Amino acid sequence: MGTDNGKSERALDRIAAGVRHPAVEHVLNVVKALLANFPVGAAIASLMTDYIPKRQTQRLEEFAKRVAEDIAGRQERVDAEFVKTDEFAYLFEECFRGVARNYQQEKIEAFRGILVNSLISREAGQAEREFFLGLVQTLTVLHIQIMRLMAQPERLQVPAPPRKGSQLKGLGASIEAVLPNVSGEAILAAFDDLVRRQLLVTDVLAFGGVPDFHILGKHNTRLSDLGRRFVDFCTVGDDRD
C-alpha cells in the first residue's frame, strides 16, 4: 500500500513541477518584460504569475479530492494490481495534465470518470481506454454537452419552439433550448462531427424536420454503441442517473 501511495505522490509531484518548470518561468519573464511598458502589462503579468498557477493548483487539488473520495467509496471493486501498471500510470498522469490544462467542468468530470472507471471496470481494454482519453482531450465542451444530452434525453424539452432567428427545428431546437448561449450553426457542426466520428447515429436531417422523439427513451438510439461506451466510461456511476 505504501509503495502505491508513493507512486501516486511522485506522479503528482511531476505534474506540479510541470506547471512551474524553469523553461516556463523563463518564457513568462520574457513576456512580462515585453509588456512592462504597456498599460495592461502589469495586469497580464499578474495573471500569468499568480492567478493562472493558483487556479491550476486549486483544480488539481479539488480533482484529486473527488477521485480519492470516489475510490474510497468503491474499495472492494478497485483492481489493486492495475494501479501498479504503466498503463494506469499513463492514464493517471494524462488525466491530471488534462485537468491542469482545462478549466471546463465537463472535461474535468470526464477525466474523473476515466480514472475511476479504469480502476473498477474491465469492460474496456487499454487501447479503448486510451482512445476515450484521446477523445476527451480532442473534443470540445460543446461536443461533450451534446453527447451527455443524447445520453440523458429527459433533459430535452420535447418538442421545443424554435429559437428566434434560428433555422433549426425538431431535435436541433430542443438542443438550442438547453444550450441558449450556443449558436445553431455551432450545434449543427458539432452534432455532424459526432456523427462522422461514429459516436452518434442520428443524421443531422433530424434537425430540420419533425423529430422522432419516440426513440428518446432510457435506451435511446441516438448514441451508437461506441458512443454509449464512451459516455459510460467518462461518467462516474453515481452521476449517471
What is the grid cell recorded at 18? 510541470
Supply the pLDDT for residue 117: 94
Query: Domain extents for the chain?
Result: 2-103, 142-239
Rounded Cα distance between 109 and 236, Å, is 8
Give the side-chain half-sphere CA count within 13 A for 116: 28
Supply the pLDDT for residue 217: 47
Rounded Cα distance between 29 and 131, Å, is 37
What is the grid cell recorded at 240? 449517471
Least reliable range by pLDDT among 64-73, 88-97, 121-130, 164-173: 164-173
Residue range 47-89, pLDDT digits in tens: 666 666 778 888 888 998 899 899 888 888 988 888 888 999 9
Q: What are phi and psi of 200, to 5 degrees?
A: -125, 155
Supply the pLDDT for residue 1: 44
Residue range 134-166, pLDDT digits in tens: 999 999 999 999 999 988 888 887 667 778 877
Which one, of 7, 28, 162, 195, lies nearest residue 88 by Cα?
7
Residue type at position 225: D
Question: pTM for the whole thing?
Answer: 0.75
